[in-house]
Structure 1
Amino acid sequence: MTSLPLEELPRPLPAAVAVPARSLPSARLTRTALSLLPLLLIAGWAAIDRASLYDGVARLAAADPWWLLSGVVFTLLGWVSAACVRQGALPDRLPPGKLLASQFAAGAANHVLPASIGAHAVTLRFLQRQGVPLARATASLALYSLVRPIAKTFVLLVFVVSSPGLLHLGDLVPDRRTLLLPAVAVTLGLVTAALLLTFVRPLRGRVRTALTDVRLLHTRPSRVLALWGGAAAAPLLQAGVIFSVGAALGLSLSWTQVAFAFLAASTAVGAVPAPGGIGPVDAALVFALVAFGAPMGTATATVIGYRVLTVWVPLLPGALVLSALVQRKVL
């Protein structure tokens, strides 16, 4: 009887092979929990903020439906602009349909967690599922976060320069003490970034990756248009929603005044880490509309209606899309 060589003898399967099969129910349970989590968060938020939700829905029910339809169109275009900026911030080509669906789902997550953490988390997971390396994915998120406020500030300056007579700034111009806070915040941010780059070596490698991608992206006209054009269009589309809701409720301000009020309010307090910017931006927007001559009641109703149209109406569909993307392993 011939004996087999030692290397040809059958060997027992390693224990690690059986782990995926055993952990499969656990993975399914985790995925199901993640799918239901957005719906539970929405239910809790609705219970906490039910007074504002009821007031906004009641006012919109008596508004002009055609203007409200216009606001819905501007809201939908806002997700398209977000998808354009996401694609423009990345050299890799992403599937357009899945990218748009991910941004719709990210909108729901963005209104639950502060400082756009929810939207960035959903987008990061989506990019990794599409095979984008982690370093490049995080670099694209950083570029997205940097380009949007720069583009918004540029659009605001264009409004100030092009319509100096129409835009009576008045009380909208902040005093020196008000300007001191953002100046201190910017200084602290720059100092913190310099310290991190000096002492954290892995961060330097990611910064180099980001700079390489930025140079590559700006050699492609299509990426430049998607990145900067989408970022500049985003605040104008949101201003379109506010103007449409205001027109439906009888607000007498022009689109230029409404757009400038939104740009000034969101630029002034947009850095406050509130979920979706809700709260500080709303108060500043009401103040800006009143400064342009809108009645307090109408300005407040316009802002509430704007939040209902952009937050509450798409929140449940966005959460359902988020759950579906998790179930289909797109996220």
Structure 2
Amino acid sequence: MRDFVPGRAVPTVIIERNLDDDGPDTAAPRRTRPWLRHTMVTAIVVLFAVELVLGWPSLVSAMSQLRAPHAGWLAAALAAELIAMGAYARMQQSLLLSAGLRVPVHRNLALAYAAHSLNETLPGGPAFSAKFNYQQLRRFGATPAVASWCIALSGILSTTALAVVTAAGAVASDGDPQWFSIAGLVAVIALIVIGIRQVTRRPEIVDAPAGAVLARVNRLRGRPAGQGLDHVRAFVGQLGSARLTAGRGAMAAVFAVLNWGLDAACLWMCLHAVTDQPVSATQVLLAFCAGMAAGTVTLVPGGLGIIDNALILGLVAGGTSMATAIAAVVLYRIISFGFIIGAGWITWLVMRRRQRDS
């Protein structure tokens, strides 16, 4: 879903050192030493145990507010979250198609689950998630340039989609959306796409600025001024395969909006699952956007405590009782965080095992 909260932050763009390689890695796979693999697994288990111990008091308090939810609404909430993950996978698939890569949706979906879990549960998760995304895209057949482009653009699309959903909530509640921010994000996407098109059509235009930057860097490193320029030219040449048409760009944008919209719908359905009182979709949407915005400024894995409190306060401000808000948010986080993260880690383990066996 998401390399931003939950798991959708704009990821770091990774450029591979060997830029002359136009395809997936052909070298023999490196075998991880058994002791190192066991150390990594132990570290992850210890990390989860520490997070559980630290969050246990809050979890027990929250769970005490949760009563038996309505089965129908619970199933609908789970379905909405699963479809939201599918929408994110479809967004990435659309971007890969623009580069001529036809990757089955189930592989994109597996990558979305695994990368989301890395992003949400590990300290410095976005960096781990971005690296994992990059490695898998290279396995899909993407060149270093296309993989970096796809990761960057998917993050920007996801951020813009959240801004669009927030604006929709503000308009529905007769508020004043941040049109300038949305316009700025749209302009950034347009400039990136236009810039890539210009560079791929006239790759020589990067020689002067890239040469000037490399000359200064190489001067500090005591190396020849033009060292590395060939790698930059090769990287730019690889971008020639990335041709994001208006149709595929619009499709990717729609899937990005659906990803956030269905996530918000999951929260709305969780409210219906725990109460028979009328629930304002507009107020739920505003609370959801406030919670996701709060999650962007936290270093706590998964935004635990930060997102939850923001969601609860947002729902209470919209007229929901405190007990109902707590129960709904607990149920929502069990689905969107607990279930999805668990499925993501299982997917990650399966992917790692298949890669070792291949």
Q: TM-score, normalised by structure 2?
A: 0.66
Corresponding residue number in structure 1 for 2:206: none
Distance 1:224-1:241 versus aligned 2 partners, 3 A rule: same
RMSD: 3.7
| Structure 2 counterpart SS, 1:328 | helix
For structure 1, the residue ranges without an aligned partner over 5 or more in a row are 1-19, 175-181, 187-195
The answer as to 2:141 corresponding to 1:131 is yes
Instruction: Check conservation: 1:272, 1:280, Cα contact below 8 A.
Output: no
Corresponding residue number in structure 1 for 2:170: 160
Corresponding residue number in structure 1 for 2:104: 95
Corresponding residue number in structure 1 for 2:52: 46
Correspondence 1:284-295 to 2 at 5 A: 284-295=310-321
Instruction: Check conservation: 2:90, 2:108, Cα contact below 8 A.
Output: no
Corresponding residue number in structure 1 for 2:307: 281
Distance 1:119-1:54 versus aligned 2 partners, 3 A rule: farther
Distance 1:48-1:205 versus aligned 2 partners, 3 A rule: farther
Q: How many angstroms does 1:205 deviate by?
A: 6.7
Instruction: Check conservation: 2:145, 2:236, Cα contact below 8 A.
Output: no
Instruction: Check conservation: 1:139, 1:210, Cα contact below 8 A.
Output: no
Corresponding residue number in structure 2 for 1:328: 354
Residues in 2 aligned to 1:210 and 1:61: alpha-carbon distance in whole angstroms: 55
Distance 1:255-1:324 versus aligned 2 partners, 3 A rule: same
Distance 1:316-1:152 versus aligned 2 partners, 3 A rule: closer
Supply the AA of the counterpart residue of 2:245: H
Corresponding residue number in structure 1 for 2:114: 105
Corresponding residue number in structure 2 for 1:11: none
- Give the alignment partner of residue 85 of structure 1, picking from 91, 95, 101: 91
Distance 1:56-1:213 versus aligned 2 partners, 3 A rule: farther
The answer as to 2:257 corresponding to 1:232 is yes
Distance 1:84-1:328 versus aligned 2 partners, 3 A rule: same
Instruction: Check conservation: 1:253, 1:292, Cα contact below 8 A.
Output: no
Instruction: Check conservation: 2:113, 2:341, Cα contact below 8 A.
Output: no
Residues in 2 aligned to 1:211 and 1:263: alpha-carbon distance in whole angstroms: 34
Q: How many angstroms does 1:206 deviate by?
A: 9.8
- Give the alignment partner of residue 145 of structure 1, picking from 152, 155, 159: 155
Instruction: Check conservation: 1:139, 1:209, Cα contact below 8 A.
Output: no
Corresponding residue number in structure 2 for 1:17: none
Q: How many angstroms does 1:86 deviate by?
A: 1.6
For structure 2, the residue ranges without an aligned partner over 5 or more in a row are 1-27, 186-208, 218-227
Supply the AA of the counterpart residue of 2:286: F
| Structure 1 counterpart SS, 2:333 | helix
Residues in 1 aligned to 2:78 and 2:289: alpha-carbon distance in whole angstroms: 20
Q: Which moved more, 1:204-213 or 1:305-314?
A: 204-213
Higher relative contact order (CA 8 A, sep 6+): 1
Residues in 2 aligned to 1:309 and 1:140: alpha-carbon distance in whole angstroms: 28
Q: How many angstroms does 1:295 deviate by?
A: 1.7
Q: How many angstroms does 1:55 deviate by?
A: 4.4
| Structure 1 counterpart SS, 2:302 | coil
The answer as to 2:297 corresponding to 1:272 is yes
Corresponding residue number in structure 2 for 1:68: 74
Distance 1:42-1:62 versus aligned 2 partners, 3 A rule: same
Q: Deviations over 1:70-125 (max 9, x none)?
A: 11111111210110122233322222212211212222212213563343333222
Supply the AA of the counterpart residue of 2:168: V
Supply the AA of the counterpart residue of 2:137: L
Residues in 2 aligned to 1:137 and 1:231: alpha-carbon distance in whole angstroms: 18
| Structure 2 counterpart SS, 1:136 | helix
The answer as to 2:337 corresponding to 1:311 is yes
Instruction: Check conservation: 2:66, 2:330, Cα contact below 8 A.
Output: no
Correspondence 1:144-293 to 2 at 5 A: 144-161=154-171, 163=172, 167=173, 199=213, 216-219=243-246, 221=247, 223-250=248-275, 252-267=278-293, 269-274=294-299, 275-293=301-319
Q: Deviations over 1:300-320 (max 9, x none)?
A: 332222111111123333212
Distance 1:159-1:48 versus aligned 2 partners, 3 A rule: closer
Residues in 2 aligned to 1:257 and 1:329: alpha-carbon distance in whole angstroms: 45
Residues in 1 aligned to 2:132 and 2:302: alpha-carbon distance in whole angstroms: 14
Instruction: Check conservation: 1:35, 1:322, Cα contact below 8 A.
Output: no
Number of positions where the alignment pairs a residue of Structure 1 with one of Structure 2 = 281
Residues in 1 aligned to 2:232 and 2:303: alpha-carbon distance in whole angstroms: 30
